[in-house]
């Protein structure tokens, strides 16, 4: 089921949460809404799910306007950042909830409900927790139960609001891989909100980057990372060094009032000056896992450049704090200042 968003606006008082959003989520896609907090991504998700109402604009599911359908009738599975499990119900009853509240004529009998709940619990690999209460589970387990609960009503769209936001790094990484595998199995159109660029890049088929209620860029993880459409996307996704044309005309090709964006790993270092290279003084050397991160100062002033080298590359040209080296960008992206 595809989702089409047309000219969507949302205001909270004087604050514009969503500014004329147009977006298309393809059927069966795992789609990420990425942006810093307050960029409107959660508002957008809640409006798609019918938990909030837009001021203007349209949401279409599979080409049909859903304005007349409230959250109950949209057949959307919603997964909340803080799980929102029913604390007074067992895991089994939590998952069964959506099946039990169906109108009488659609409701399954008890055996069928039991069978389905256990099937879902097996899908999230937590069948053995059926009789526990949410308070007795770990965060990762709770979120998997929340997902099973959302899937119980066979939603055509799955919406996840920062699903891993409240978990620690290790569990987060496990869960997002698991979510990706699960999505490949089920192929239900899924939209998830995250402020973690790594999460979006790793899990999503496509990403929309949002900022202050506006869409900055839509594209595959590769597109967004390799060719950011705006300075904001450049800075939000990955680290970046800025070189202003006034001080570094050499790199901005004399274009007036431009800023060159260079990723730390797109900078080469050498011990001797080369064409259009900049002399810098190494201020800090840090080995972090498989990479070595350098901080260097340009000339006399305090402008700091971040450089990232692979360990092999670093071993070819080992430098130490205080050394003078020459840097040269391999790749530059220019934006007007």
Q: Which structure tokens are listed for 28?
A: 């069966």
Q: Provide the minimum distance between the beta carbon of 85 and other proteins in the complex, in angstroms, as a whole number.
A: 8
Residue 82 in contact with other proteins, rule: CB under 8 A: yes
Site for other proteins contains 50 (CB under 8 A): yes
What are the Cα distances from residue 270, in Å, to 277, 292, 330?
Answer: 9, 15, 13
If you write DSSP's letter for every residue of 77-139 in order, what string do you get? EEE-TT----TTS-HHHHHHHHHHTS-TTTPPPHHHHHHHHHHHHHHTT-GGGTTS-GGGS-H
Among residues 2, 38, 97, 238, the one that binds other proteins under rule CB under 8 A: 97
CA angle 291, 294, 297 (to 5 degrees): 165
Query: Which residues, numbered 218-237, are part of the site for other proteins (CB under 8 A)?
Result: none
User: If binding is defined by CB under 8 A, does position 84 make contact with other proteins?
Assistant: yes
Length of the chain: 337
Exactly one of 15, 22, 62, 86 binds other proteins (CB under 8 A); which one? 86
Rounded Cα–Cα distance for residues 252 and 244 (Å):
8
| 128 lies in the binding site for other proteins (CB under 8 A) | no
Please list every residue from 134 through 163 that binds other proteins, using CB under 8 A: 135, 146, 149-150, 152-153
CA dihedral sign of residues 314, 331, 205, 61: positive
* Shortest distance (Å) from residue 97 CB to other proteins: 6
Q: Shortest Cβ distance from residue 80 to other proteins (Å)?
A: 5
**From 15-23, 67-75, 192-200, 293-301, span contacting other proteins (CB under 8 A):** 67-75
Under the binding rule (CB under 8 A), the answer on residue 107 touching other proteins is no
Nearer to other proteins, 11 or 230 (CB): 11
Q: Least Å distance between CB 257 and other proteins?
A: 45
Buried b vs exposed e over 201-226: b needs ≥16 C-beta within 10 Å? Answer: bebbbbbbbbbebbbbbbbebeebbe
Which pair of tokens denotes residue 155?
Answer: 């939603």
Q: Can you tell me the distance from the alpha carbon of 115 to that of 137, in angstroms, rounded to the nearest whole number? A: 22
Check binding of 49 to other proteins (CB under 8 A). yes
Indicate which single residue of 14, 68, 72, 289 sits in contact with other proteins (rule: CB under 8 A).
72
Tokens of 268: 């080469």
Note whether 164 binds other proteins by CB under 8 A: no
Task: Assess 87 for contact with other proteins (CB under 8 A).
Answer: yes
Q: In what order do the strands lie in the sheet with 333-336?
A: 241-244, 258-262, 333-336
Please give the Cα distance from 185 to 229 (Å, whole number): 32
- Cβ closest to other proteins, residue 155 vs residue 329: 155
- Tell me the site size for other proteins, rule CB under 8 A: 28
In sequence order, what are the beta bridge partners of 269? 327
The reply to whether 88 sits near other proteins by the rule CB under 8 A is yes
Binding site for other proteins (CB under 8 A): 49-51, 70-72, 74-78, 80, 82, 84-88, 97-98, 101-102, 135, 146, 149-150, 152-153
């Amino acid at each position: 089921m595809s989702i089409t968003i047309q000219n969507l606006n949302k205001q909270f008082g004087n604050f514009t949460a969503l500014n004329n959003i147009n977006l298309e989520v393809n059927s069966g896609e795992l789609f990420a809404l990425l942006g810093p907090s307050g960029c409107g991504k959660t508002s957008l998700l809640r409006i798609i799910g019918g938990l909030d109402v837009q001021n203007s604009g349209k949401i279409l599911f599979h080409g049909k306007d859903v304005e007349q359908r409230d959250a109950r009738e949209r057949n959307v599975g919603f997964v909340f950042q803080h799980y929102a499990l029913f604390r007074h119900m067992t895991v089994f009853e939590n998952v069964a909830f959506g099946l039990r509240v169906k109108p009488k004529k659609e409701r399954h009998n008890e055996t069928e409900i039991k069978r389905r709940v256990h099937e879902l619990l097996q899908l999230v690999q937590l069948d053995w927790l059926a009789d526990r209460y949410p308070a007795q589970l770990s965060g990762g387990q709770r979120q998997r139960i929340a997902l099973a609960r959302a899937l119980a009503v066979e939603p055509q769209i799955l919406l996840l609001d920062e699903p891993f936001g409240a978990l620690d790094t290790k569990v987060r990484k496990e869960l997002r891989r698991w979510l990706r595998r699960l999505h490949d199995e089920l192929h239900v159109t899924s939209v998830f909100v995250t402020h973690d660029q790594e999460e979006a890049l790793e899990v999503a088929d496509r990403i929309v980057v949002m900022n202050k209620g506006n869409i900055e860029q839509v594209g595959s993880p590769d597109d967004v990372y390799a060719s950011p459409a705006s300075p904001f996307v450049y800075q939000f996704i990955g680290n970046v060094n800025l070189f202003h044309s006034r001080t570094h005309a050499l790199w901005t090709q004399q274009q007036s009032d431009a800023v060159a964006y260079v990723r730390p790993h797109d900078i080469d270092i050498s011990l001797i000056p080369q064409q259009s290279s900049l002399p810098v003084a190494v201020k800090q050397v840090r080995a972090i896992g498989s990479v070595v991160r350098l901080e260097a100062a340009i000339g006399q002033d305090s402008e700091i450049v971040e450089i990232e080298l692979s360990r092999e590359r670093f071993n070819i040209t080992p430098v130490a704090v205080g050394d003078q080296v020459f840097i040269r960008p391999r790749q530059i992206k220019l934006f007007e200042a």
